[in-house]
Amino acid sequence: MRERWVIGNWKMNGTLQRNRELLDALKALAPTRARIAVCVPSVFLPQTAELLAGTAIAWGAQDVSAQPNGAYTGQISSSMLQEFGASVAIVGHSERRLFNAESNEDVAKKALAAANAGLRPVVCVGESLAEREAGRAEAVVGAQLAACTEALARFPALPVIAYEPVWAIGTGKTASPEQAEAMHAFLRSELANISPEARQVPILYGGSVKPSNAAELFAQPNIDGGLIGGASLVAADFLAIAAA
Ligand code: PEP
Protein backbone atom coordinates (compact mmCIF):
# COMPACT_ATOMS: atom_id res chain seq x y z
CA MET A 1 0.00 0.00 0.00
CA ARG A 2 1.30 3.48 -0.83
CA GLU A 3 2.28 5.76 2.02
CA ARG A 4 0.08 8.71 2.83
CA TRP A 5 1.49 12.02 4.00
CA VAL A 6 0.16 15.33 5.25
CA ILE A 7 2.94 17.90 5.34
CA GLY A 8 2.69 21.48 6.58
CA ASN A 9 4.72 24.15 4.81
CA TRP A 10 5.00 27.11 7.15
CA LYS A 11 6.82 29.18 4.52
CA MET A 12 8.42 32.32 6.06
CA ASN A 13 6.11 32.47 9.05
CA GLY A 14 6.44 31.92 12.78
CA THR A 15 7.88 33.31 15.99
CA LEU A 16 9.28 31.32 18.90
CA GLN A 17 6.10 32.02 20.86
CA ARG A 18 3.65 31.23 18.03
CA ASN A 19 5.56 28.07 17.05
CA ARG A 20 5.39 26.80 20.60
CA GLU A 21 1.61 27.30 20.72
CA LEU A 22 1.14 25.67 17.32
CA LEU A 23 3.41 22.68 17.95
CA ASP A 24 1.97 22.11 21.42
CA ALA A 25 -1.51 22.04 19.87
CA LEU A 26 -0.38 19.60 17.14
CA LYS A 27 0.76 17.15 19.78
CA ALA A 28 -2.95 16.48 20.40
CA LEU A 29 -3.06 14.77 17.00
CA ALA A 30 -4.77 11.38 17.22
CA PRO A 31 -3.05 8.55 15.30
CA THR A 32 -3.81 8.83 11.57
CA ARG A 33 -3.24 6.63 8.53
CA ALA A 34 -1.04 9.38 7.16
CA ARG A 35 2.46 10.31 8.21
CA ILE A 36 2.49 13.91 9.42
CA ALA A 37 5.33 16.41 9.06
CA VAL A 38 5.92 20.15 9.36
CA CYS A 39 8.48 21.99 7.22
CA VAL A 40 9.61 25.03 9.15
CA PRO A 41 12.00 27.93 8.50
CA SER A 42 15.45 26.46 9.22
CA VAL A 43 16.17 28.80 12.16
CA PHE A 44 13.27 27.15 13.97
CA LEU A 45 14.57 23.59 13.52
CA PRO A 46 16.20 23.36 16.98
CA GLN A 47 12.98 24.52 18.65
CA THR A 48 10.87 22.18 16.48
CA ALA A 49 13.17 19.23 17.16
CA GLU A 50 12.93 19.89 20.89
CA LEU A 51 9.15 20.33 20.98
CA LEU A 52 8.33 17.38 18.70
CA ALA A 53 10.87 14.93 20.13
CA GLY A 54 9.17 11.67 21.02
CA THR A 55 6.01 12.46 18.99
CA ALA A 56 4.88 10.84 15.73
CA ILE A 57 5.18 14.18 13.91
CA ALA A 58 8.22 14.52 11.65
CA TRP A 59 9.88 17.81 10.79
CA GLY A 60 11.88 19.15 7.90
CA ALA A 61 13.06 22.05 5.79
CA GLN A 62 11.59 24.02 2.90
CA ASP A 63 14.70 23.91 0.71
CA VAL A 64 18.20 22.42 0.68
CA SER A 65 21.44 23.29 -1.04
CA ALA A 66 22.42 21.12 -3.98
CA GLN A 67 25.97 21.17 -2.55
CA PRO A 68 27.32 19.11 0.36
CA ASN A 69 29.40 21.97 1.91
CA GLY A 70 31.75 24.81 0.99
CA ALA A 71 31.66 28.40 -0.22
CA TYR A 72 27.91 28.78 -0.73
CA THR A 73 27.02 31.75 1.46
CA GLY A 74 23.51 31.59 2.85
CA GLN A 75 22.83 28.00 1.83
CA ILE A 76 22.10 25.09 4.16
CA SER A 77 23.18 21.55 3.37
CA SER A 78 21.08 18.44 3.74
CA SER A 79 23.49 16.92 6.23
CA MET A 80 23.19 20.02 8.46
CA LEU A 81 19.43 19.60 8.41
CA GLN A 82 19.73 15.92 9.09
CA GLU A 83 21.83 16.68 12.17
CA PHE A 84 18.79 18.46 13.64
CA GLY A 85 16.70 15.34 13.12
CA ALA A 86 14.98 16.63 9.99
CA SER A 87 13.62 13.76 7.93
CA VAL A 88 11.97 15.53 5.00
CA ALA A 89 12.85 18.49 2.77
CA ILE A 90 10.68 20.29 0.26
CA VAL A 91 12.49 21.02 -3.00
CA GLY A 92 11.32 22.91 -6.07
CA HIS A 93 8.43 24.75 -4.42
CA SER A 94 6.94 27.11 -7.00
CA GLU A 95 7.87 30.12 -4.84
CA ARG A 96 11.52 29.07 -5.04
CA ARG A 97 11.27 28.35 -8.76
CA LEU A 98 9.77 31.86 -9.18
CA PHE A 99 11.71 34.04 -6.71
CA ASN A 100 15.03 32.16 -6.84
CA ALA A 101 14.95 31.19 -10.52
CA GLU A 102 15.39 27.50 -9.73
CA SER A 103 15.35 25.37 -12.87
CA ASN A 104 14.14 21.78 -13.20
CA GLU A 105 17.78 20.71 -13.18
CA ASP A 106 18.52 22.66 -9.97
CA VAL A 107 15.54 20.97 -8.34
CA ALA A 108 16.73 17.50 -9.42
CA LYS A 109 20.20 18.20 -7.93
CA LYS A 110 18.66 19.36 -4.65
CA ALA A 111 16.39 16.32 -4.48
CA LEU A 112 19.35 14.01 -4.99
CA ALA A 113 21.45 15.87 -2.39
CA ALA A 114 18.62 15.57 0.13
CA ALA A 115 18.11 11.87 -0.61
CA ASN A 116 21.83 11.13 -0.36
CA ALA A 117 21.90 12.74 3.10
CA GLY A 118 19.04 10.52 4.26
CA LEU A 119 16.24 13.11 3.93
CA ARG A 120 13.01 12.34 2.11
CA PRO A 121 12.76 14.91 -0.70
CA VAL A 122 9.28 16.30 -1.36
CA VAL A 123 9.58 17.38 -4.98
CA CYS A 124 7.05 20.03 -6.00
CA VAL A 125 5.71 20.24 -9.53
CA GLY A 126 2.89 22.34 -10.97
CA GLU A 127 1.80 24.51 -13.85
CA SER A 128 0.85 28.20 -13.94
CA LEU A 129 -2.62 29.38 -14.94
CA ALA A 130 -1.33 30.58 -18.33
CA GLU A 131 0.21 27.16 -18.98
CA ARG A 132 -3.04 25.40 -18.02
CA GLU A 133 -5.11 27.72 -20.20
CA ALA A 134 -2.74 27.09 -23.10
CA GLY A 135 -3.35 23.33 -22.71
CA ARG A 136 0.23 22.78 -21.58
CA ALA A 137 -0.31 21.61 -17.99
CA GLU A 138 0.74 17.98 -18.58
CA ALA A 139 3.71 18.97 -20.75
CA VAL A 140 5.03 21.38 -18.07
CA VAL A 141 4.46 19.05 -15.13
CA GLY A 142 5.79 16.08 -17.12
CA ALA A 143 9.01 17.99 -17.88
CA GLN A 144 9.42 18.97 -14.21
CA LEU A 145 9.09 15.32 -13.23
CA ALA A 146 11.32 14.08 -16.05
CA ALA A 147 14.17 16.31 -14.89
CA CYS A 148 14.17 14.30 -11.67
CA THR A 149 13.79 10.94 -13.38
CA GLU A 150 17.45 10.19 -13.81
CA ALA A 151 18.15 11.28 -10.25
CA LEU A 152 15.12 9.27 -9.11
CA ALA A 153 16.70 6.05 -10.26
CA ARG A 154 19.70 6.84 -8.01
CA PHE A 155 17.65 7.79 -4.93
CA PRO A 156 18.34 5.54 -1.95
CA ALA A 157 14.66 5.84 -0.95
CA LEU A 158 11.51 6.85 -2.79
CA PRO A 159 10.88 10.58 -2.91
CA VAL A 160 7.49 12.17 -2.36
CA ILE A 161 5.98 14.21 -5.21
CA ALA A 162 3.68 17.16 -4.52
CA TYR A 163 1.47 18.37 -7.35
CA GLU A 164 0.83 22.03 -6.64
CA PRO A 165 -0.86 23.97 -9.44
CA VAL A 166 0.67 27.45 -9.07
CA TRP A 167 -2.71 29.10 -9.64
CA ALA A 168 -4.10 27.32 -6.56
CA ILE A 169 -1.33 28.17 -4.07
CA GLY A 170 -2.41 30.71 -1.47
CA THR A 171 -5.15 31.97 -3.79
CA GLY A 172 -8.13 30.25 -2.21
CA LYS A 173 -8.72 28.56 -5.61
CA THR A 174 -8.46 24.81 -5.24
CA ALA A 175 -8.14 22.45 -8.18
CA SER A 176 -11.36 20.45 -8.33
CA PRO A 177 -10.94 16.85 -7.16
CA GLU A 178 -11.35 15.79 -10.81
CA GLN A 179 -8.69 18.23 -12.07
CA ALA A 180 -6.26 17.16 -9.35
CA GLU A 181 -6.96 13.46 -9.86
CA ALA A 182 -6.41 13.76 -13.62
CA MET A 183 -2.93 15.22 -13.06
CA HIS A 184 -2.10 12.72 -10.33
CA ALA A 185 -3.11 9.83 -12.62
CA PHE A 186 -0.85 11.29 -15.32
CA LEU A 187 2.05 11.56 -12.84
CA ARG A 188 1.43 8.00 -11.65
CA SER A 189 1.62 6.67 -15.20
CA GLU A 190 4.83 8.63 -15.84
CA LEU A 191 6.33 7.18 -12.64
CA ALA A 192 5.21 3.67 -13.61
CA ASN A 193 7.29 4.02 -16.78
CA ILE A 194 10.40 4.47 -14.63
CA SER A 195 10.09 1.34 -12.50
CA PRO A 196 7.52 -0.73 -10.58
CA GLU A 197 8.88 0.80 -7.32
CA ALA A 198 8.43 4.34 -8.63
CA ARG A 199 4.72 3.57 -9.03
CA GLN A 200 4.61 3.52 -5.23
CA VAL A 201 5.86 7.12 -4.88
CA PRO A 202 3.31 9.04 -2.78
CA ILE A 203 1.82 11.93 -4.77
CA LEU A 204 0.43 14.74 -2.60
CA TYR A 205 -1.87 17.53 -3.70
CA GLY A 206 -1.16 21.11 -2.60
CA GLY A 207 -3.03 24.33 -3.27
CA SER A 208 -5.56 25.90 -0.88
CA VAL A 209 -6.33 22.63 0.91
CA LYS A 210 -8.62 23.36 3.87
CA PRO A 211 -10.70 21.27 6.29
CA SER A 212 -13.74 21.75 4.02
CA ASN A 213 -12.16 20.26 0.88
CA ALA A 214 -9.49 17.87 2.22
CA ALA A 215 -11.63 14.73 2.51
CA GLU A 216 -12.91 14.94 -1.06
CA LEU A 217 -9.44 15.55 -2.49
CA PHE A 218 -7.82 12.79 -0.43
CA ALA A 219 -10.56 10.32 -1.47
CA GLN A 220 -9.30 10.41 -5.08
CA PRO A 221 -7.55 7.17 -6.04
CA ASN A 222 -4.21 8.77 -6.92
CA ILE A 223 -4.06 11.47 -4.24
CA ASP A 224 -1.98 10.24 -1.32
CA GLY A 225 -2.31 13.25 0.98
CA GLY A 226 -1.49 16.93 0.95
CA LEU A 227 1.14 19.63 1.17
CA ILE A 228 -0.54 22.34 3.19
CA GLY A 229 0.51 26.00 3.27
CA GLY A 230 -1.74 28.58 4.95
CA ALA A 231 -3.91 26.05 6.80
CA SER A 232 -0.84 24.48 8.43
CA LEU A 233 -0.43 27.65 10.52
CA VAL A 234 -3.80 27.15 12.22
CA ALA A 235 -3.64 24.16 14.55
CA ALA A 236 -7.34 23.27 14.35
CA ASP A 237 -7.27 23.36 10.54
CA PHE A 238 -4.08 21.32 10.19
CA LEU A 239 -5.39 18.74 12.67
CA ALA A 240 -8.69 18.48 10.75
CA ILE A 241 -6.83 18.06 7.44
CA ALA A 242 -4.56 15.39 8.95
CA ALA A 243 -7.60 13.57 10.29
CA ALA A 244 -9.18 13.66 6.81
C1 PEP B 1 2.08 25.61 -0.48
O2 PEP B 1 2.64 26.68 -0.42
O3 PEP B 1 2.75 24.56 -0.58
C4 PEP B 1 0.62 25.60 -0.44
C5 PEP B 1 -0.01 24.53 -0.84
O6 PEP B 1 0.02 26.74 0.03
P7 PEP B 1 -1.54 26.95 0.35
O8 PEP B 1 -2.05 25.71 1.05
O9 PEP B 1 -1.60 28.15 1.24
O10 PEP B 1 -2.22 27.16 -0.95
Ligand 1, pocket-test mutation among 38, 98, 209, most atoms within 8 A of CB: 209
Q: With a cut of 80, say whether residue 34 has pLDDT above it.
A: yes
124-157 pLDDT, tens digit each:
999 999 999 999 999 999 999 999 877 776 666 7
Q: With a cut of 80, say whether residue 69 has pLDDT above it.
A: yes
Q: What percent of the chain has pLDDT over 90?
A: 86
Residue whose CA lies nearest to ligand 1 atom number 3? 229
Q: Which DSSP category does 83 fall into?
A: H
In sequence order, what DSSP letters do the residues of 14-62 get, joined into one string? --HHHHHHHHHHHTTPPP-SSEEEEE--GGGHHHHHHHHTTSS-EEEES
Report the separation in Å between the CA atom of 70 and the middle of ligand 1, taken as the mean of its atom positions: 32
Domain count, the chain: 1
Q: What residues does ligand 1 touch, defined as CB less than 6 Å away?
A: 9, 164, 169-170, 206-209, 227-231
Predicted pLDDT at 196 = 85
On whether residue 216 sits in a domain, the answer given is: yes
CA–CA gap between residue 186 and residue 204 (Å, rounded) = 13
* Domain boundaries, position 21: 5-233
Active-site pick, 95, 127, 131, 164: 164
On whether residue 200 sits in a domain, the answer given is: yes
CA–CA gap between residue 227 and residue 164 (Å, rounded) = 8
On whether residue 243 sits in a domain, the answer given is: no
CATH of the domain at 200: 3.20.20.70
Residue 77: alpha-carbon gap to chain centroid: 18
CA–CA gap between residue 200 and residue 207 (Å, rounded) = 22
Residue whose CA lies nearest to ligand 1 atom number 8? 229
Q: What is the pTM (predicted TM-score) of this model?
A: 0.96
Give the ligand 1 atom nearest the CA of 9. Answer: 3
